[in-house]
Amino acid sequence: MKDSMKPLSRLETSSIPCTLNGQEISLNVPPAKRLLHILRDDLEMTGTKRSCDIGRCGACMVMVDGVPVNSCLTMAYQCSGKSITTIEGVSAGGMDPIQRAFLEEGGFQCGYCTPGMIISVKALLDHNPDPTPPEIEEALSGNICRCTGYGGIKRAVQKAIEWRREAYESESVHD
């Protein structure tokens, strides 16, 4: 059997290298195990939320190589060599302006969907700092909120865009 065809099986113990929130790690898990369960159960990082389990609600959203993916749909082997960012990673250097915008604009009520929302907004703004309203709607179309509604969330995104723009302009002036 060629090396490239060697299976990653549940019997292997240290075979899935990746970066988690900037730290290089090796996942010693069954290769088809869901990233959601690895994060919450194995690594005890419970900021990523479990809800629908089929990629519909967005509560379990994480970034893989800078783009949002549903961790309930992502299998361990699909993370090999990738860079994963969870909500814990977003706030590692203190509260992210996107999180502050959600707080100030009332972009949450129970808060269960909020980590996933924050991840989707961060992925959007990192890629497109000045999105149009349709682009914001598309970016958040995989995140469902079932208690506070979307008005506050949209305001929070607009506020985050403003703050990031102001921060950029301020940096440009000082350069």
- Residue 34 beta carbon to other proteins: minimum distance, rounded to whole angstroms: 7
- 23-27: strand order across its sheet: 23-27, 16-20, 83-85, 61-64, 67-70
Stretch binding other proteins (CB under 8 A), from 53-61, 98-106, 146-154, 156-164: 53-61
Stretch binding other proteins (CB under 8 A), from 1-9, 17-25, 102-110, 149-157: 1-9
- Residue 16 beta carbon to other proteins: minimum distance, rounded to whole angstroms: 10
Instruction: Assign 112 to helix, strand or coil.
Output: coil
Report the alpha-carbon distance of residue 112 to residue 162 in Å, rounded: 25
Those residues whose C-beta lies under 8 Å from the C-beta of residue 15, and which sit 6 or more positions away, are: 8, 26, 28, 31
The footprint of other proteins on residues 79-108 (CB under 8 A) is none
* x-marked contacts with other proteins along 116-145 as a string, rule CB under 8 A: ----x-----------------xx-xxx--
